[in-house]
Structure 1
């Protein structure tokens, strides 16, 4: 039963400053017994700045520094960064590092919605991804991926008991309600725990950000496979630590039949 820490924060525009923040928050989560420490999408640098000049490969200095932080605390760290892609774009990548692992997941579904066009600067990924920690399979998804139930069901088919969803959710009328609804719906769709870790609301700390960019609303949330909320945060930077029971995912799937009874 892995203990997972969600570190809700507001990223800076400086990757170096964000490394210091990741080190501090990883230490805090590890001190509470977390085996997996999850940070939001765009932890390397928040949206609203040019991403291509910041992008680094998974074997670059930023990712290596995060790996060293994970190794220091004997945890797996999952954090959003940007890696180079073709044609001057970047990949919106989840860095997964620690416990002998070092890899990335490229966000599949790009946020061309609500007046924002992520695909102008970001290239899509194409492959779902899972990782295994202490015998428990964890799926990976990023922010806008949350709107696509087939991805979560594919991760469940691949053995995931839980899905980690780093995000930088866009603000706006009804967006917080959609965020919670989608987290709980994807949990029910797949029978997985869904652990959604968002960027904190910049207004909660008086941080000035690009008003046109999706820079977070906070309200990180955890739902189990029955759609029940098992933990949530407010708008400000904060830490949420949750114990994930993989057996409950199997119980949820058996009760709802959502995977076994699919016909399309």
Structure 2
């Protein structure tokens, strides 16, 4: 499977973001294209309300993803703000669109970024903790968003639901040790679950970039720095099986009691 990771700095202008997506995916040859979190419309200043810019899943942004998927012959995953029944707080949602333009899966971010002095929950609604897993050419992809990376139990839930690759769109905020956390946690989730990790992150003044594909033994197959761009790398399903034979940690798991 050929995986394309697209890295850019999204703006608070949906039309400008759509143009950037088209420019950065022009001529892409891949089976899976992964775009960052909030690539439809960036978070912007913490005082900026996100409700007015949110869209439904049958709105123009998902239609753009469907157009891209059909023209590229690829599955496309991207992050957007999805309307909820609270007009002030939409969902932070990932959408996976198939080769034919149909929506394959959606995932509403379950862990909102109320950390490092920021409160995502003031502006967005929390999604239900339900594993989102879907298949592409025999590879089962599980969806996580950015801050979800810090919760290993979500990775376990995805593996238990059949995932052998994690797809992680992100807008990972720059800061002291943050870039190190990002890279360490991507490799940790890959190693402990013997999965590929395909992570596409925003870059720019606010975010760290460093998009990368990590294999099931924690080897970084390909990576970007902090410039805008895209990479295309191979994901080999046979390597997943070989890694799980060499490191059968998932088979060795034990059930631990829950503290009272």
What TM-score does the superposition give when structure 2 sets the normalisation length? 0.91
Task: Map 1:51-130 to 2 at 5 A.
Answer: 51-87=50-86, 88-100=88-100, 101-102=102-103, 103-126=105-128, 127-130=130-133
Deviates more, 1:48-57 or 1:108-117: 48-57
Q: Partners of 2:162 and 2:107 in 1: how far apart? A: 17
Match of 2:34 among 28, 35, 38: 38
Q: Which residue of 2 aligns with 1:252?
A: 243
Runs of 4+ in 1 over 3 A off after TM superposition: none
Q: Partners of 2:213 and 2:137 in 1: how far apart? A: 20
Structure 2: runs of 5 or more not aligned? none
| Shift in Å, 1:51 | 1.2
Residues 156 and 191 in structure 1, CA contact (< 8 A), matched pair in contact too: no
Q: Partners of 1:159 and 1:137 in 2: how far apart? A: 7
Residues 131 and 161 in structure 2, CA contact (< 8 A), matched pair in contact too: no
Q: Partners of 2:202 and 2:168 in 1: how far apart? A: 11
| Shift in Å, 1:134 | 1.3
SS in 1 for 2:26: helix
Q: Which residue of 1 aligns with 2:222?
A: 231
Deviations 1:197-231 (A, max 9, x none): 1101x24xxxxxxxxxxx41111122111111111
Q: Partners of 2:22 and 2:182 in 1: how far apart? A: 27
Q: Partners of 1:197 and 1:3 in 2: how far apart? A: 14
Residues 5 and 35 in structure 2, CA contact (< 8 A), matched pair in contact too: yes
SS in 2 for 1:236: coil
> CA 1:150/1:250 → structure 2, altered by over 3 Å: closer, same or farther?
farther
Deviations 1:43-84 (A, max 9, x none): 011112421111011001221122112112211111110001
CA RMSD of aligned residues (A): 1.4
Structure 1: runs of 5 or more not aligned? 204-214
Q: Partners of 1:199 and 1:158 in 2: how far apart? A: 28
Residues 153 and 259 in structure 1, CA contact (< 8 A), matched pair in contact too: no
SS in 1 for 2:232: strand
Q: Partners of 1:108 and 1:247 in 2: how far apart? A: 31
Deviates more, 1:169-178 or 1:244-253: 244-253
Q: Partners of 2:247 and 2:20 in 1: how far apart? A: 41
Residues 19 and 66 in structure 1, CA contact (< 8 A), matched pair in contact too: no
Q: Which residue of 2 aligns with 1:212?
A: none
Q: Partners of 2:110 and 2:137 in 1: how far apart? A: 26
Task: Map 1:1-264 to 2 at 5 A.
Answer: 2-28=1-27, 30=28, 33-48=29-44, 49-87=48-86, 88-100=88-100, 101-102=102-103, 103-126=105-128, 127-200=130-203, 202-203=204-205, 215-263=206-254, 264=256
